[in-house]
């Protein structure tokens, strides 16, 4: 019992169901884009209520594509600024650099560790074009306030929802609550990840969800090298030139494939169930962990985060990590503040809360193979060390 190893993250697949979907894909011979990708996109739109969805081979590709398309559509210039967080996986900020824009780091709030609108407002300059919000751990934080701020300043809002499959919140309109909605509804574009350890794991995959139909259409072309199949097929009624296509854009090879979409379709069916199990594990941790010795980043009232990861903040983080490893428990760290890496060093600020908290953050194991006993064992072990 004591020797059972508990990993921080671990994907669970409904293997027989996944295999049946994959078999169908192989039998019909259509494993590329289209096919199950379109089915998965439709299912995702129904699940989230978002108007558009395009399936890609990763969220990193999605974030890059989002910024690439916004930049060309709104004619942003090299060196224009996007306000972002340094407390994230590097994909978020790399996507900005890919497009020769400048990440400007604002601070995170002290509850959910997501971008704080007050700090964002202080960072706005005439060069600011967008805000890139990350829902760390699936938490929604002050996303809605950030969305309002973006509207006031005419900035685009990009959501890195890599942790947020199934994150919902009580929206507010004109001072009144306006129903639970899936995240993304407030953003110009939202990107989700189905990478192998995310809470909707496939192997690698992502979804880009533009609010605007025109930009969604652009994303579909840009994700397949900028090819526009429609132009010739529309002009050639008899179909003689069906093989011809136009290439209006310098696009990328970013689209998803039907094998992965087949897995995604099965995983999506269980997302609600899986997230409620995650919520129960998080609640159990919250009840047992000694809050006089550590604190737990938490979301605000009316928010239903996916609980993709469960984080704690402890003074002696490195010691706790080593001691847990000795006892067969393998937590993680999400994330080292990105301004510690060379390409973001210009934004280093030791007084920023994201920098301070990042040195104390620890991600405790949370996944669907954990039993209640596992959760209790991890929590009590942590209490014994902090």
Ligand X SMILES: *Cc1c(COP(=O)(O)O)cnc(C)c1O
Q: Which residues bind ligand X (CB under 6 A)?
A: 58-60, 88-89, 91-92, 134, 160, 162-163, 193, 195, 206
Whose CA is closest to 146, among 114, 173, 168? 114
| Cα-Cα end-to-end distance for the chain | 23
Q: Quick one: tokens of 220?
A: 């579909």
CB of 175 to ligand X, least distance (A): 32
Q: Nearer Cβ to ligand X, position 199 or 381?
A: 199
The answer to whether the CB of 313 falls within 8 A of the CB of 342 is: no
Q: Nearer Cβ to ligand X, position 58 or 257?
A: 58
Count of C-beta atoms within a 10 Å radius of residue 224: 17
CB of 68 to ligand X, least distance (A): 15
CB of 147 to ligand X, least distance (A): 18
What's the rounded Cα separation, in Å, for the pair 354 and 108?
6
Q: Nearer Cβ to ligand X, position 59 or 312?
A: 59
Q: Nearer Cβ to ligand X, position 93 or 144?
A: 93
Q: Nearer Cβ to ligand X, position 141 or 206?
A: 206
Helix (H) or strand (E) holding 273: helix 271-288
CB of 135 to ligand X, least distance (A): 8
CB of 195 to ligand X, least distance (A): 4
Q: Measured between alpha carbons, how far is residue 27 from residues 48, 240, 333, 369 in Å?
A: 30, 29, 42, 32
Give how far the C-alpha of residue 71 lies from the chain's centroid of Cα atoms, to the nearest Å: 21
CB of 82 to ligand X, least distance (A): 14
Q: Nearer Cβ to ligand X, position 71 or 198?
A: 198
CB of 91 to ligand X, least distance (A): 4
The answer to whether the CB of 190 falls within 8 A of the CB of 219 is: no
CB of 61 to ligand X, least distance (A): 7
Whose CA is closest to 63, among 254, 348, 318, 265? 254
Q: Nearer Cβ to ligand X, position 59 or 268?
A: 59
Q: Nearer Cβ to ligand X, position 158 or 262?
A: 158
Q: Quick one: tokens of 336?
A: 């080292």
DSSP result, 296-324: ---PPTTEE---SSEEEE-TTHHHHHHHH
Helix (H) or strand (E) holding 180: strand 176-182
- Exposure string of 142-162, with b = 16+ CB inside 10 Å and e = fewer, is bbbbbbebbeeeebbbbbbbb
């Amino acid at each position: 019992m004591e020797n059972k190893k508990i990993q921080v993250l671990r994907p669970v697949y409904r293997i027989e169901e996944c295999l049946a979907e994959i078999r169908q894909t192989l039998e019909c011979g259509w494993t590329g884009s289209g096919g199950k990708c379109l089915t998965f996109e439709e299912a995702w739109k129904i699940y989230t209520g978002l108007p558009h969805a395009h399936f890609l081979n990763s969220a990193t590709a999605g974030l890059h594509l989002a910024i690439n398309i916004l930049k060309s559509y709104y004619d942003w210039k090299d060196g224009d600024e996007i306000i972002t967080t340094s407390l994230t996986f590097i994909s978020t900020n790399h996507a900005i650099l890919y497009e020769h824009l400048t990440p400007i780091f604002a601070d995170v709030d002290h509850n959910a560790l997501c971008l704080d609108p007050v700090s964002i407002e202080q960072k706005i300059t005439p060069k600011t074009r967008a805000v890139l919000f990350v829902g760390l751990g699936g938490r929604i934080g002050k996303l809605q306030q950030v969305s309002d701020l973006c509207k006031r300043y005419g900035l685009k809002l990009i959501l890195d929802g890599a942790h947020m499959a199934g994150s919902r919140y009580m929206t507010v309109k004109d001072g009144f609550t306006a129903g639970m909605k899936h995240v993304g509804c407030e953003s110009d574009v939202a990107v989700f990840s189905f990478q192998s350890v995310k809470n909707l794991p496939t192997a690698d995959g992502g979804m880009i969800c533009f609010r605007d139909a025109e930009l969604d259409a652009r994303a579909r072309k840009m994700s397949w090298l900028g090819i526009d199949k429609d132009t010739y097929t529309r002009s050639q009624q008899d179909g003689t030139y069906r093989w011809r296509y136009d290439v209006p854009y310098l696009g990328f090879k970013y689209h998803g494939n039907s094998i992965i979409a087949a897995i995604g379709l099965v995983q999506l069916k269980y997302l609600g169930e899986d997230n409620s199990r995650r919520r129960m594990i998080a609640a159990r941790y919250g009840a047992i962990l000694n809050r006089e010795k550590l604190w737990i980043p938490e979301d605000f009232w009316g928010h239903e985060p996916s609980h993709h990861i469960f984080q704690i903040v402890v003074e002696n983080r490195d010691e706790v990590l080593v001691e847990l490893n000795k006892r067969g428990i393998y937590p993680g760290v999400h994330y080292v503040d990105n301004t510690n890496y060379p390409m973001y060093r210009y934004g280093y600020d030791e007084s920023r809360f994201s920098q301070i908290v990042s040195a104390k953050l620890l991600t405790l194991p949370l996944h669907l193979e954990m039993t209640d006993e596992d959760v209790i064992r991890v929590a009590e072990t942590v209490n014994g060390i902090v």
